Amino acid sequence: MKFRIDTSTGPHVGIVTLSGRIDAENSIELQNSFMSWLLETSLFVFDCSDLDFIDSSGLGSIVSCLRKALEHNGDLRLAGMGPKVSMVFELTKAKKLFSIFPDTANAMQSFGKSEP
Amino acid sequence: MKTLIVIREKDCQWARAFFPDMHPFLLTICNKPYVEFLVDFSLLSGIRQIRLLSDGPLGEVEEYCENGSRWGAEISYASIQSGDDMQTVLAKNKRFCAEERCMIINGMVFINYGKQADYNAFIAAFPSGEILSCSCGSLMLTGNPSGTRNISPPYPFTLSCFDSPGLYYRLSSDILNDAVSPYVLPGYNNEPLCHIGRNVVIGKSAEIIKPVILGDNVQILGGAVVGPGAIIGSNVIIDRNSSVIHSVVIDHTYIGEQLEVEKKIVSGNMLIEPESGVSLAIEDPHLLTGIRKSGASLSFIQYAVQALAALFILVLLLIPFLFLFPVLKLRGKWMQHNEDCYADISGKILNLSVTAIERGGLFGSIAIFLSLDRFFQLFRVLAGQIAIIGSTPLRVSPENREHLKRMPGYRPGVFSYAEAEAWPVDHDDKAIIERFYTAHSALFQDILMTVKAFVNRIHEKSTP
C-alpha cells in the first residue's frame, strides 16, 4: 500500500496504490493507515490496477474507508479495477457504493470537476 | 445403425478448466447433461447402440449413464489414445461399427435438433462421409446408405461449436429463452419458459421471474429474486435477498445472502464472466461455495452418540437374541440374506445383512417386538458404515439409482425416519419424510426418533 498526495488537478487528493491481495491479513492495516491519511486529506483515489485479489474482509475495509472519508466531508473513488476485483464488487453490490473510473487520471479529473 | 461419440480430452479442456468438479460429458446445459443431448439425437435418428470414446477417464460418465437402459439405448464405453486419428479410432472399434452404418459425433459439438423430428430416414439415406462440421468437430456417417433419396442442404439439424464458457452461456440462454423448447428438459413444466424440478422450496417473499429453470432440491430463501433468464442447477441454495438474473448456476452451489449475480456462470465457489472468460474462485464460503454432502455425513459427535446407542441396544438385545435366534432359525422362521444397498449418494455399494422374521407364534412376536431382525445391522453402526436412524437402505437397482439422485441427504440407517413417523407407507411419502429428517438431522432428535422407531415396530405384523 503506497500513499501520496497529488495536487495536479487542484484539490489535495490522496492516491493510495493497492497491490497484490487485500484480505483478512492486511485489511486492518489498510484501515489503520487510512486513519493517518485522513489527517492529510479527505479526498482519495484508490488505484486498484495492481490489485489481484480482494476478499470480503478487504471489501469491508474499503467500504469502511469510504464511510470515514464521507464523515470527513470527503470522498473515496476507485480507479483501474481489474476484471476479477470488479466481479467481487459486482457480486456484493459494493459497486453501487463507489464512483469507479477506468484509471487514476480520470478519477483525479473527476475531483477537479466536483471540487473547483 | 450405431453411434460413436468421440470426444478427446483436448476437446473438453476448457470445460475441465472452468468446471473442475464435473466431467465434461456431464456438464449440464439447462440442467440436462451434455451427453444426454447426444443420446437423444441418436435415438431420434433411430439409433439404439451408442459407444462413448475418450482418451480421458469415463468412470463418472459410466456411473451416470450405466448401460443406457433408462433411455432404451445400449451404451458402451471404450478408451482411445490421444494421438489416434479417426481411421485408427474406427479400426479399434471395427467390431462395433463394421457390420452396420455408423454415425460419428466427433468433438465437443452441440447438435441443434428438434424433439418432434424423426431423423431416421434422413440419416439412413445420407451418403457416407461428413454431414456437418464446425471448428470444434463434425458429424459423419460410415457405411452404405439405404435408399436413394436426394439430400441437399439445409439439413433438418445444425451443428454448433461448444468450446468456451461464452458459447456455453449463449447456448444455455438460447435454449432457456425458446418458448417451445426443441429439447426435452428436466423438471415440471406446465407453462412456457418455466421448468421446476422436484423438492424445490421457494420462500414466501422470493420472486421467480420467467424464463427460468430450477433443478431438483433447490432452496430459494426469502427476498431472493431468481430470473429472468436464470438457470439454477440441482442442490442449489440461494440465500436471503440475493438476486440471480440472466445467469447459470451449476449444481451443488450455495449463493450467500445479499448478493447480485448477473450475466454470470456460478459453479461452486467459481464465478465466471462468460463473455470474457474471466473466472474467480471466491474464497469466502459465506459468499459462494460448493455444496457437496448436504447433511449426508455424520459429525464425529453424532457418530460417537450413534455408536454408543447401537452398543447399548446390542447389549440389551444380546440375551434375547442368543435364546431366540437358534429357536427361530430351527423352526425356519428366521430368514436371512445379504443385499447390496447404496451406502451414500455417490452410489457406493454396501453389502447389508437383511433379516425377515415370521410373526407366527410367541417367539416370532417377541423377536419382532425387540427388533431382533436389525441385530446384525447394529454392528454396521459401530463400524460407522450406516447410521442408527436414517433413510431406508436402497437396494442397488437402476430405478433406485434414479431415486438416489433425488435424495441429497440419503444416509442408510438401521431404523428409518419413516418407521419413526409410522407414515402411511407409499414410496414417495417415505421419501419425503426421510428427506426432511436427513436434511434437519440433529443429535437429540435422532435419539428420540430411534426410540419412536423402536416403539412403532411393536405394531408391525411381520418384518419385510
CA atoms within 13 A on the CB side of A68: 19
- Residue A114 confidence (pLDDT): 58
Q: Examine the domain organization and report whether B145 and B214 are in the same domain.
A: no
Nearest CB among B261, B278, B283 relative to A91 is that of B261
Q: What is the CATH number of the domain that holds B157?
A: 3.90.550.10
User: Kindly report the CA angle at B24 between B20 and B27, in degrees rounded to 5?
Assistant: 90
Low-confidence ranges of chain B (pLDDT < 50): 293-296, 463-464
- Residue B445 confidence (pLDDT): 78
- CATH for the A2-114 domain, from 3.40.50.1100, 3.30.1490.20, 3.30.750.24, 3.40.50.720: 3.30.750.24
Q: Examine the domain organization and report whether B304 and B423 are in the same domain.
A: yes
The pLDDT tens digits for B17-28 are: 999 889 999 999
C-alpha span between A14 and A4 (Å, rounded): 6
C-alpha span between B379 and B30 (Å, rounded): 44
**Parent domain of B222:** 188-290
Given B163, B197, B217, the domain boundary residue is B163
Q: Is A83 on the interface with B (CB under 8 A)?
A: yes
Which residues on chain B place their C-beta less than 8 Å from a C-beta of chain A? 258-262, 264, 271, 273, 276, 278, 280, 282-284, 286-288
C-alpha span between B321 and B367 (Å, rounded): 8
Q: Examine the domain organization and report whether B126 and B197 are in the same domain.
A: no
C-alpha span between B257 and B271 (Å, rounded): 16
* CA-based R_g, chain A, Å: 13
Query: H helices within B274-396, ranges in order?
Result: 300-330, 362-369, 375-382
* Residue contact A91–B283, C-beta within 8 A: no
C-alpha span between A7 and A11 (Å, rounded): 6
Cis peptide before B228 (omega within 30 of 0): yes
Q: Examine the domain organization and report whether B313 and B215 are in the same domain.
A: no
Low-confidence ranges of chain A (pLDDT < 50): 115-116
- In B, minimum Cα distance to A58 occurs at B284
- ipTM of predicted assembly, 2 dp: 0.89
Which residues of chain A lie closer than 8 angstroms to B259, CB-CB?
91-93
Nearest to B435 by CA among B371, B391, B395, B396: B391
CA atoms within 13 A on the CB side of B217: 24
**Side chain identity, residue B434:** E
How close is the nearest chain A Cα to the Cα of B244, in Å? 10
Strand partners for B78 = B53
List the strands of the sheet with B201-202, edge to edge.
B201-202, B219-220, B237-238, B253-255, B288-290
Q: Examine the domain organization and report whether B15 and B148 are in the same domain.
A: yes
Given B290, B320, B339, the domain boundary residue is B290
Q: Examine the domain organization and report whether B212 and B241 are in the same domain.
A: yes
Region of B124 please: left (phi>0), alpha (psi -120 to 50) or beta: alpha
Nearest CB among B276, B283, B287 relative to A91 is that of B287
Q: What is the CATH number of the domain that holds B219?
A: 2.160.10
By the 8 A CB rule, do A81 and A47 touch?
Answer: no
* Residue contact B282–A88, C-beta within 8 A: yes
Q: Does residue B233 form part of some domain?
A: yes
Cis peptide before B211 (omega within 30 of 0): yes
Q: Examine the domain organization and report whether B84 and B156 are in the same domain.
A: yes
- Residue B294 confidence (pLDDT): 46
* Domain residue spans of chain A: 2-114
Q: Examine the domain organization and report whether B210 and B263 are in the same domain.
A: yes
Which residues of chain B lie closer than 8 angstroms to A22, CB-CB?
none
C-alpha span between B396 and B290 (Å, rounded): 28
The pLDDT tens digits for B234-283 are: 999 999 999 999 999 999 999 999 999 999 999 999 999 999 999 999 98
C-alpha span between B96 and B92 (Å, rounded): 9
Q: Examine the domain organization and report whether B25 and B149 are in the same domain.
A: yes
- Residue B406 confidence (pLDDT): 66
Q: Examine the domain organization and report whether B377 and B324 are in the same domain.
A: yes
How close is the nearest chain B Cα to the Cα of A27, in Å? 15
Which residues of chain B lie closer than 8 angstroms to A93, CB-CB?
258-260
Which residues of chain B lie closer than 8 angstroms to A87, CB-CB?
264, 271, 273, 278, 280
Q: Examine the domain organization and report whether B311 and B426 are in the same domain.
A: yes
Q: Examine the domain organization and report whether B286 and B312 are in the same domain.
A: no
Number of domains chain B contains: 3
- In A, minimum Cα distance to B277 occurs at A83
Given B252, B268, B290, the domain boundary residue is B290
Cell of B371: 427388533
Counting one residue from chain A and one from chain B, the pairs whose CB atoms sit within 8 A come to 35
- Residue B82 confidence (pLDDT): 87
C-alpha span between B216 and B233 (Å, rounded): 7
* CA-based R_g, chain B, Å: 26
Angle between helices B300-330 and B362-369 (to 10 degrees): 180
Nearest CB among A55, A83, A93 relative to B260 is that of A93
